[in-house]
Chains A and B, each alone.
Chain A
Amino acid sequence: METLEKSIDTKKEEKPVKKMMLILSKATIDNVYACFILANGARMEGIESEIFFTFFGLEAIQKDKLNHLHVATVGNPAMHMPTMLGGLPGMEALATKMMKNEMEKLDIPPVDEFLEILSASGTKLWACKLAMDMFHLNNDKLIDNIDGVITVGDFYARAKGDGTHLLFI
Chain B
Amino acid sequence: MSERTYAEINIDCNEEGYLTDLDQWNKDVAMDIAVEEGIELQEKHWEVLDYIQDQYRKEVPLTIRKIGKSGIVDIKTFYQLFPGGPLKKASRIAGIPKPVSCI
Is B45 part of the contact surface with A, judged by Cβ < 8 Å? no
A38-65 interface with B by 8 A CB criterion: 40-41, 43-46
The contact string, 1 if C-beta is below 8 Å from chain A, for chain B 62-100, is 011110100000111001000111111000000000000
**B79 and A120 within 8 A (CB):** yes
> Which of B64, B66, B74 has the most chain A CB atoms inside 10 A of its CB?
B64
Q: Is B103 an interface residue (CB 8 A)?
A: yes
User: Of A37, A45, A120, A122, which contacts B103 at CB under 8 A?
Assistant: A37
Indicate whether B102 reaches chain A with its CB closer than 8 angstroms: yes
Minimal beta-carbon separation of A120 from chain B (angstroms): 4
Q: Indicate the size class of the contact surface on chain A.
A: 10 to 19
Q: Scoring A residues 114 to 143 as 1 if CB is less than 8 Å from chain B, else 0, what string do you get? A: 000100111000000000000000000000
What is the number of residues of chain B that contact chain A, defined by CB distance less than 8 Å? 19
A106 to B64, CA, bound (A): 12
Q: Which single member of B65, B83, B85 contacts A109 (CB below 8 Å)?
A: B65
Residues of chain B within 8 A (CB-CB) of A122 are 79
Q: Is A81 an interface position by the 8 A CB rule?
A: no
With A45-B85, A107-B103: A117-B66 Cβ-Cβ less than 8 Å: no
Main SS at interface, chain A: helix
Q: Which residues of A lie under 8 Å from residue B86 when comparing CB positions?
A: 44
Min C-beta distance of B51 to chain A, whole Å: 16
B49-64 to A contact mask, C-beta < 8 Å, 1/0: 0000000000001011
Chain B 22-45 interface 0/1 with A at a Cβ cutoff of 8 Å (1 = within): 000000000000000000000000
Which one of B66, B75, B101, B102 lies within 8 Å of A121 (CB-CB)?
Answer: B75
Whether A117 contacts B65 by the Cβ 8 Å rule is yes
Using known A-B contacts A117-B64, A117-B65, determine if residue A45 contacts B79 with beta carbons closer than 8 Å: no
- Could you list 10 examples of A-B contacts with CB < 8 Å? A37-B102, A37-B103, A44-B85, A44-B86, A45-B85, A107-B63, A109-B65, A117-B68, A121-B64, A121-B79
A residues adjacent to B (C-beta < 8 A)? 37, 40-41, 43-46, 106-109, 113, 117, 120-122
**Residues of chain B whose beta carbon lies under 8 Å from any beta carbon of chain A:** 61, 63-66, 68, 74-76, 79, 83-88, 101-103
